[in-house]
Copies of this chain bind each other. A is one copy, B any other.
């Protein structure tokens, strides 16, 4: 009882909590939601199953926090770039490439967190963070529009398209699987960031050009 406030125990508690979170994250990174059972998490964290429930009220909330932790980090990285130096184009390209590089390092995790839903409650958490990530892209698009670098468009919708485009090409089920070669990965990232820039580029789409001509 008294111990509760002693740093040692707090550390211990935090230790356990962190280890459970880390174990959960690693499990998702390895096998997606399919194998992310509470018992597996506990085993990997080196605690008893019941202990998981001392720190998290339910499986869903545990994994929602896993998702939030990872997603927040990605969002922050992107946000820092959006708020950084350079033209809107440079920043948009930088944000896409930064996200891509990180996602490619842990694609299974990225896929699970981004695209692979399972329980509705976890899905809700995903929605929040996917929205937060998208928001950053909406922001840079709006900045670009204000500066006259990007074409006029509904930034919210186009931002969603940008996110969809690079995610699908990076971690979607149709994304190339053999990215062991760094050069191949670099080329993929380049192509994707070119594509995302094209989405917001000033020039009118080809279809309209013709019609006008």
Contacts and interface: CB of A to CB of B under 8 A. Distances in A.
A131 B176 CA distance: 12
Interface stretch (A4-12, A68-76, A88-96, A101-109): A88-96
Interface residues of A, number: 62
A207 B194 CA distance: 9
A154 to B, nearest CB: 5
B174 A166 contact: no
Nearest to A150: B206
Contact of A117 (B90, B116, B134): B116
A12 to B, nearest CB: 16
Given A131-B174, A163-B168, A200-B206, 12 more contacts: A34-B120, A89-B205, A127-B174, A157-B191, A164-B164, A164-B166, A165-B168, A197-B206, A201-B204, A201-B209, A202-B209, A203-B204
27 contacts: A89-B210, A115-B115, A115-B117, A123-B173, A130-B173, A130-B174, A131-B174, A134-B174, A153-B195, A157-B169, A157-B176, A160-B174, A161-B166, A161-B169, A161-B192, A162-B165, A163-B174, A164-B165, A164-B167, A165-B199, A168-B168, A197-B206, A197-B208, A198-B203, A201-B203, A202-B203, A203-B203
